[in-house]
Each structure stands twice: as C-alpha cells, then as structure tokens.
Amino acid sequence: MNSETVVIRPARRPEGARRSMFARLKKDLQAIKDRDPAATSSLSAYFNYPGLKAIRWQRRTHWLHQRGHTFLARGLSQWVRHHTGIEIHPGATIGEGLFIDHGMGVVIGETAVIGENVTIYQGVTLGGTGKERGKRHPTIEDCVVIGVGATVLGNITVGRGSKVGGGAVVVNNVPTNCTVVGVPGRIVVREGARVDVVDLHHEDLPDPVIEMFKCLQHRIDRIDARLTADELGTTGHRTEAAESSDASATAVDAGGDPDLSNDALEGEACDIQ
C-alpha cells in the first residue's frame, strides 16, 4: 500500500500586503524625520522612538481585535504599554503619518479615530465619558496637533488643521483650523488660515484669560485717568472758594461777628464738597 506524504506549508503573506506594510513604515519614518529635528536617520527613528513602536504594535493588535481575538489583542497592548509608556486600545482606528513625540503617558481609547498626519505630544489623553457603549471617544481629523498634557473627552470631533494647546481640556467639537486653549477648552479662530501642512508651533497660542485681564486693566486705566482729571478740576474750584472765604473772614475780623463768619465758612465748604 502506497502512502503519500502531505507537506503543509505556512501561508505566505500576499505580495501587495507586504508592499503596503513597508510603504506604511516608510511613511511613519518620514513623519518622524519631518517633525522632529532630533531624528538624525531612519535607523535612529526605527529603534529609538517609542511612539513608532507603539503605533506598529497597535496595527497588529487592531488586526487581532477586528477578528475577535480581543483577549490576546488587549494583552499585547498592555505589554506594549509596559515597554513604551503609551497605551493605545486595540479597537482604536489610526491613520498613516501619526507621530507620537516622546509619548510617555499617552492614552488613546477604544473608539478613538485618528486621521492622517496627526501629531500627539506626551501626556495626551483621548478619553471617553460615562459608561455608555458605542462611539464614546473623540475623532481627530487630519493635520491636528495636540499639545503636551492635553485632554480630549467624549464623542467629539477636532477639525482638520486645528491645534489643542498644552494642558487644555476639550469637551466640545472644534471646527476646522482653530486653536483650543484653557480649562475648559476655549476656541480661538485663526482668521484666514487654512492649514494644508502640519503646524507644530503649539506653544504660540493666545490666552483668553490674559486677554481679559488686559482688557480690564485698560478700562481701569481709563477710569483712573478720568478721576484724576476730575480731581484737578475740583482743586481749581476749591482754590477760588478759599480765596473768597479769606476775604470774608478779613471783613468779619474788621467789624463783624466771628461766630457768624465761621458758620459762613463751614457752609461754603459744605457747598463745595
């Protein structure tokens, strides 16, 4: 009886998938070199940037999560968090060109959606609110920059080209090409600006609180100037009244009643005040 040997070969990754993987890696490396002057080479960016490692591992865990291997995907994401300090839920959707600078303390929730060419600095949280299921994390559109320690909460959208200042807490939708600063986040529209490239100057943001204090100080200065002018005018009237009172007092001393002269002077003083 002839026996046949069955050889089982492992399935090979399709050629197109391999090209897509390397093209995506190339784009991720280019994003690091374009936005971080400290990145001296692609080799340095590949081995020394925890943000890139977290993003690449998240794509693997996202693949597992979509196919129902949620326990394995979540376990791997926790392992990555331990080694990089960056926690990205396997369910999050991440576009190409994401750059997480430094990355320590970054948290990206399960239903968060991040577009292309987004820049996130350390300590950023893209979190949810409440215990509801479904879409409960923010959507970050293309070319958005989120500064150090900023928090974006809930099922909201941060529009294309917008900037979130360091330490801001954003709980409402942000239109396209705006900046958000403060707690809670306040929107400052950038007039006439369309951001077609990534603008990394997240430190150059207006502060509405400082602007309000400047406005109040300006009003106080104006009121102080008016009071000073009024006091100068009143002083001139008092000088004329004092000269008249002195003349009356001289006349009384010459032949009048001193008590009556004092009463007259007090009356004049009251009228002046």
The tens digit of pLDDT for each residue in 80-130 reads 999 989 999 999 999 888 889 888 989 999 899 999 889 999 899 998 887
Complete DSSP assignment for 70-115: HHHHHHHHHHHHHHHS-EE-TT-EE-TT-EESS-TT-EE-TT-EE-
273 vs 34, 51, 231, 245, CA distance in Å? 72, 73, 12, 15
More confident residue, 92 or 194: 92
* Residues 259 and 139 placed together within one structural domain of the fold: no
Helix, strand, coil abundance in the chain, percent, nearest 5: 45, 15, 40
- How far is the C-alpha of 31 from the C-alpha of 13, rounded, in Å? 26
Query: What is the domain count for the chain?
Result: 2
The answer to whether the CB of 147 falls within 8 A of the CB of 163 is: yes
What's the pLDDT at 240? 57
* Residues 232 and 121 placed together within one structural domain of the fold: no
The answer to whether the CB of 167 falls within 8 A of the CB of 148 is: yes
* Cβ partners under 8 Å of residue 158, min gap 6: 138, 139, 140, 141, 144, 146, 152, 164, 170, 173, 174, 180
Centroid of chain to Cα 112: 18
Residue 92: which CATH number? 2.160.10.10
* Residues 125 and 138 placed together within one structural domain of the fold: yes
- How far is the C-alpha of 87 from the C-alpha of 53, rounded, in Å? 11
Asked, for residue 8, whether it belongs to a domain, the answer is no
* Residues 197 and 226 placed together within one structural domain of the fold: no
Final residue in a domain of this structure, among 176, 206, 236: 206
Asked, for residue 9, whether it belongs to a domain, the answer is no
Complete DSSP assignment for 243-267: HHHHHHHHHHHHHS-HHHHHHHHHH
Range(s) of the domain holding residue 121: 16-206
Task: Tell the burial category of 258 from Cβ atoms under 10 Å away from its Cβ (0-12, 13-18, 19+).
Answer: exposed
Final residue in a domain of this structure, among 165, 181, 206: 206
Asked, for residue 27, whether it belongs to a domain, the answer is yes
Asked, for residue 52, whether it belongs to a domain, the answer is yes
pLDDT digits (tens, 9 = 90+) for 49-89: 888 899 989 999 999 998 989 899 999 999 999 998 999 99
- For residue 184, whether the previous peptide bond is cis, meaning omega lies within 30 degrees of 0, is yes
* Residues 188 and 215 placed together within one structural domain of the fold: no
More confident residue, 68 or 208: 68
Any bridge partners for residue 170, and if so which? Answer: 152
Asked, for residue 6, whether it belongs to a domain, the answer is no
Asked, for residue 201, whether it belongs to a domain, the answer is yes
* Residues 161 and 39 placed together within one structural domain of the fold: yes
What's the pLDDT at 114? 92
* Residues 80 and 118 placed together within one structural domain of the fold: yes
The answer to whether the CB of 54 falls within 8 A of the CB of 84 is: yes
Residue that the structure tokens 């600063």 belong to: 181
* Residues 84 and 146 placed together within one structural domain of the fold: yes
- How far is the C-alpha of 53 from the C-alpha of 59, rounded, in Å? 10
Asked, for residue 10, whether it belongs to a domain, the answer is no
Asked, for residue 3, whether it belongs to a domain, the answer is no
- How far is the C-alpha of 154 from the C-alpha of 170, rounded, in Å? 9
* Residues 218 and 193 placed together within one structural domain of the fold: no
* Residues 168 and 136 placed together within one structural domain of the fold: yes
Phi-psi region of 58 (alpha: psi -120 to 50; beta: other; left: phi over 0): alpha
* Residues 99 and 155 placed together within one structural domain of the fold: yes
Final residue in a domain of this structure, among 206, 223, 248: 206
150 vs 93, 124, 172, 180, 264, CA distance in Å? 20, 5, 14, 10, 72
> How large is the greatest C-alpha to C-alpha distance in the chain, in angstroms?
158
Is the model's pLDDT at 35 over the cut of 80? yes
* Residues 195 and 231 placed together within one structural domain of the fold: no
pLDDT digits (tens, 9 = 90+) for 219-269: 898 898 888 888 887 665 555 555 555 555 454 455 544 444 444 444 444
